[in-house]
Structure 1
Amino acid sequence: MNHPAALSNGTTVSEKRKLLSNIRERRAKAGKLVAGVAAACTSDTFKAPVSQSRPPCILKQATRHLKNPGLVSLGGGLPSSEYFPFYECTFRVPIPPHFSESDAISPDSATGQTITIGKYDVQAGISECDLSISLNYGQATGSPPLIRFITEHTELVYNPPYADWQVCPTVGSTGALEQTIRMFCDRERGDSILTEEYSFSTALETLVPQGIKPFGIQMDDQGPIPESLDEMLSSWDEKAREARKPHLLYTVPSGQNPTGVTQSLERRRCIYALCQKHDMYIVEDEPYYFLQMPPYQAKQGSDQQAPEDIESFLAGLIPSYLTLDVDGRVLRMDSFSKVLVPGSRVGWITASAQVVERFIRHAEVANQGPSGISQIMLWKLLDETWGHEGYLTWLIDLKNNYTKRRDALLAACDEFLPKTVVSWTPPTTGMFLWLKLDYSQHPEYPSRPIEDIEGEIFEQAVQNGVLCARGSWFRTEPSTPASGMFFRATFASASAKAMGIAIQRLSQAIRESYRIE
């Protein structure tokens, strides 16, 4: 296998095409997947040729014997599917590449199709999974059909450069992070964690109940600054910081929340090399990874984008830390929340087999894995209906739509915001725009604290009819002096017209505070 660092953009178009072909060949050779209730599985089944005290769940392990022909089980507490009051589930989905909701939603439309899941589809030979299986108890390792798809997807997109990687389903990235912190950190030892100086507020709130102290790395328009990371770790003073030298780095490399910045391949290589130097483990949170957009063109607009094929799309993605991971020091968190449906509460982690084994032990005594109905609905759509090509086509279309939304928000900022005091870097990934206000030009600075000025603008903006997130909400170390004044705007859901109105209202609040005509 080629070392991922030897390629400037991950793998080539031809290599991605070959991986897709290999997946189809393996599926054809393996035949129909036979997996019953609570079937045990791991990624190894489908791949190509905190706590050491947590033992495997005994009852879960026993279910592996259920596949034995003629076995009558009196050993587990699996309810009879006869008493599940759900006999059929139907939902309507688009047919790739036609993803317009208005076109596909009609039952008579040729660009949409209705999917049906019955209770006994497996017994009838209709499908590889059904409601009798998915509505019963499952394994923390996830539904075998969905794990097969996720394993193939991980191999196709990230292709980790070592053999014993595994995937494991999660109940979303926040739950995955909470479990990961419990595995790697201990408040009694005074453990701490490094992250960007402005970080996802919910991630920071996840650390608080566990007593783990976060420390922020200085950032630029490509994310964490390597020199800042190296200096922090090289000069770490446990007594002064009241915490042990961190051994865990939490980062959102693509379209970072809240700043919207994306780490270049060279930046990722530098950060990875420093983690090797200081023996740091990387928790890579990537909910926006597939929303990597072309550079903003103020006048051309997004409608002029050329059609993009699947292989070119994959080859053009900035490689994940997982793709660069030659040491097994990365746990990557993926999620369907930002690219399909947040309410599914389904995502997955990818890491070395040793780490995933511990993660599963935690899941078995916590959430026991995602909802069975969520898993079968996702599998029915992604695998049995769309396939890998259909899902990747969906991701391309999604990226293009978010590009249009981004461009609409940026056009409004160009038109309405007072550039003498407000600046921004057009994001190339994700859903967020980070607005920087020059507090030094405020007529009441320095006699008035930055936080007070920020609060005044926020409250006035709300009164004007627009809600933006205050930058101070995302500060990793709020007790330290603020390095700037920021607001986070999102282009995730509002229409182009609504975003234009919102930016005008925000501009009015800024102008009033700065006394700009």
Structure 2
Amino acid sequence: MGAAFGQKPLGPVLHLYRSQLHPQHRQITYTKPSSKNLEPHFSVESQAFGGSALKKSSSVASTGSKRMIPLGTGRPSPEYYPWIRSLESKQFDTYSEAITKETNPPAANGHHQLALQVSTKHDDGYNLALALNYGHAHVELVHNPSYSNWDTCLTAGTTSALEIAFRIFCNRGDIVLSEKYTYPGTIKAINLVGAQMQAVDLDKAGASAIYLKEILDKWDISRGPKPTVFYTIPCGQNPTDTTQSLKRRQQILEVAEEHVLIIIEDDPYYFLRPGLCSTGADSDISADGVPSYLFLDTFGRVVRLDSTSKILAPGLRAGWVTANASIIEKFLAYQEVSTVAVSEPVQMMLYILLDDNWGHTGFFSWLDFLSQQYRIRRDLMLEACSKYLPQDICTWVPPDYGMFLWLELDWRKHPQFKDGLSCGSLSLNLLEIENNILQLALEDGVQVTKGSLFRCSKKPIEELHFRMTFAAASEQDLTQGVRIFAGSIRKEFTIY
């Protein structure tokens, strides 16, 4: 399963990092059963789809001692790539020193030239096979899947991976289960494949396992086939910033096994742990983090999506998916006729950063540093919220993971509702209030996101929310931004 990255021994790295893992992650076993056969879950389209015949014919490997002469590949020779032979990298060169000093962040003024060798020899310079081995080793270190026939592949970002995942598992007219509020890109991707969404209620521990089970137990077949896919953002959920506890994940996995569900685990915030505060008796969140669904899954029904967008840079458009090997085969087939692959210069950048410069320990040290910085930003925003927001109207829960703060506004305190519901529908009134607050904030120079954009249900709106992020603005602007936004709320609610 890729027990090494590059040509460097993994043993010392594994020993160094294992102590940082959740206690249940630390025992890595290599004798594992196979997962269940998941091919019956494939959509009608994906069952009959095998990828690009042209690309398969062009990727025939050399056999025996004979070198394969490429007269069939519609691709130019690498020697004619007009590409820059080096990239400037800041912070890369000094980071290996930082990991030996444990708490030192990377130097802000580091400067290093990273050579990108343009070679016509496939065994020289940049080697994609080694980079993929790194990916396997990373997944095994962090998640250590419980079954043997898992695999992983690169994706051109999570949005692309989501579209492929829904094509693999959904037929037109199917219904996908998801948290009540979720990432708008997912909503669009589901709609594009002709499927719809069913909202699952949330509480302080994330998606409700009780409500999920109730939906499936009482499913009315007249609505269409019973859902077979549950899409979830388990850590630092976008937009509500909830994180599912270990207990909650186990409960949901039990429901998934009972009702034969595929779980799509979209987890870009897994490594961003800006807070270590407890969220109550139902929580198992600790400094070690919560085990992923991929780790807890013993049947191979979890499709895990990871991304570099929140931990390195969104412009890379690079991620990876881990799942049962038969599912990964379908991902690769669809990529052959869509994104094809992650941009090769991006792959080079990632390979050189992760393999040549950081290694596993350097990468995890970077993630620790990043989480520390987000913790500082989160605390600044929370302090500003407590100072400026009208707390008789606004409520929020400090996030444990991720980069968002989810505000709920008590719309009943709005002047329109002093004498009960105003004329017209509640939903239209709330949308009007939401737009008014947004426009007031924009006019004063602050951009926030309306909660209604994240709704996966088409039912009338009965709640008023806004999402703020502490990741984008500078530390100096966070306090001022919250103060201005608080002023917009006060104006709309006529509080002075």
Range of TM-score over shorter length: 0.7 to 0.9
Structure 1: how far apart are the matches of 2:399 and 2:130? 36
Structure 2: how far apart are the matches of 1:315 and 1:358? 36
Q: Which amino acid aligns with 2:180?
A: E
Matches within 5 A, 1:23-62: 50-62=45-57
Q: Which amino acid aligns with 1:201?
A: P
Whether 2:465 is the aligned partner of 1:468: answer no
1:103 to 101, 109, 113: 109
Structure 1: how far apart are the matches of 2:464 and 2:369? 35
Whether 2:195 is the aligned partner of 1:212: answer yes
Q: Which runs of 5+ in 2 are unaligned?
A: 1-19, 31-44, 99-103, 279-284, 424-428
Q: How far does residue 77 in structure 1 lie from its aligned partner after superposition?
A: 2.6
**TM-score with structure 2 setting the length:** 0.83
Q: How far does residue 14 in structure 1 lie from its aligned partner after superposition?
A: 9.5
Q: Which amino acid aligns with 1:255?
A: G
Matches within 5 A, 1:160-309: 160-187=145-172, 190-239=173-222, 242-295=223-276
- Return 315-324 or 93-102, whichever deviates more: 93-102
Q: Which amino acid aligns with 1:225?
A: S
Whether 2:493 is the aligned partner of 1:514: answer yes
Q: How far does residue 367 in structure 1 lie from its aligned partner after superposition?
A: 1.4
Whether 2:98 is the aligned partner of 1:83: answer no
Deviations 1:368-422 (A, max 9, x none): 1211111111011101221111111111111111111111111110110010110
Matches within 5 A, 1:477-516: 477=457, 479-516=458-495
Relative to structure 1, is the Cα distance of residues 356 and 314 closer, same or farther in structure 2, using a 3 angstrom cutoff?
farther
1:455 aligned residue: 435
Q: Is the 8 A contact 2:275 2:399 kept in 1?
A: no
1:304 aligned residue: none
Q: Is the 8 A contact 1:122 1:128 kept in 2?
A: no
Q: How far does residue 462 in structure 1 lie from its aligned partner after superposition?
A: 1.5
Structure 1: how far apart are the matches of 2:464 and 2:87? 49
Relative to structure 1, is the Cα distance of residues 515 and 279 closer, same or farther in structure 2, using a 3 angstrom cutoff?
same
- Return 329-338 or 72-81, whichever deviates more: 72-81
- Return 223-232 or 441-450, whichever deviates more: 441-450
Q: Which amino acid aligns with 2:454?
A: F
Structure 1: how far apart are the matches of 2:334 and 2:252? 29
* Structure 1 SS opposite 2:405: strand
Relative to structure 1, is the Cα distance of residues 14 and 324 closer, same or farther in structure 2, using a 3 angstrom cutoff?
closer
Q: Which amino acid aligns with 1:507?
A: A
Structure 2: how far apart are the matches of 1:356 and 1:459? 45
Relative to structure 1, is the Cα distance of residues 415 and 211 closer, same or farther in structure 2, using a 3 angstrom cutoff?
same
Q: Is the 8 A contact 1:157 1:314 kept in 2?
A: no
Q: Which amino acid aligns with 2:245?
A: S
1:36 aligned residue: none
Aligned length: 438
Q: Is the 8 A contact 2:157 2:317 kept in 1?
A: yes
1:436 to 408, 411, 416: 408
Structure 2: how far apart are the matches of 1:319 and 1:339? 19
Relative to structure 1, is the Cα distance of residues 68 and 406 closer, same or farther in structure 2, using a 3 angstrom cutoff?
farther
2:23 aligned residue: 12
Structure 1: how far apart are the matches of 2:220 and 2:306? 34
Structure 1: how far apart are the matches of 2:152 and 2:289? 21
Structure 2: how far apart are the matches of 1:206 and 1:390? 35
1:319 aligned residue: 291
Deviations 1:135-164 (A, max 9, x none): xxxxxxxx3222111100000000000000
Deviations 1:255-305 (A, max 9, x none): 0111111111111111111111111110000011000233359xxxxxxxx
Q: Which amino acid aligns with 2:440?
A: Q
Structure 2: how far apart are the matches of 1:14 and 1:427? 23
Q: Which runs of 5+ in 1 are unaligned?
A: 1-8, 23-49, 108-112, 130-142, 298-312
Q: Is the 8 A contact 2:176 2:229 kept in 1?
A: yes
Q: Is the 8 A contact 2:25 2:143 kept in 1?
A: no
Q: Which amino acid aligns with 1:119?
A: V
Q: How far does residue 128 in structure 1 lie from its aligned partner after superposition?
A: 4.7
Q: How far does residue 228 in structure 1 lie from its aligned partner after superposition?
A: 1.1
- Output the aligned Cα RMSD: 2.4
Q: Is the 8 A contact 1:121 1:128 kept in 2?
A: no
Q: Is the 8 A contact 1:434 1:487 kept in 2?
A: yes
1:157 aligned residue: 142
Whether 2:378 is the aligned partner of 1:379: answer no
- Return 376-385 or 330-339, whichever deviates more: 376-385
Q: Is the 8 A contact 1:93 1:114 kept in 2?
A: no
Relative to structure 1, is the Cα distance of residues 345 and 67 closer, same or farther in structure 2, using a 3 angstrom cutoff?
farther
Deviations 1:4-41 (A, max 9, x none): xxxxx97539937x89xx9xxxxxxxxxxxxxxxxxxx
1:366 to 298, 313, 338: 338
Q: How far does residue 86 in structure 1 lie from its aligned partner after superposition?
A: 2.2
Overall identity of the aligned pairs, in %: 36
Matches within 5 A, 1:114-153: 114-120=113-119, 127-129=125-127, 143-153=128-138
Relative to structure 1, is the Cα distance of residues 221 and 14 closer, same or farther in structure 2, using a 3 angstrom cutoff?
closer
Q: Which amino acid aligns with 2:381?
A: L
Q: Which amino acid aligns with 1:184?
A: F
Structure 2: how far apart are the matches of 1:453 and 1:257? 22
- Return 393-402 or 65-74, whichever deviates more: 65-74
Q: How far does residue 100 in structure 1 lie from its aligned partner after superposition?
A: 4.2
Q: Which amino acid aligns with 1:114?
A: Q
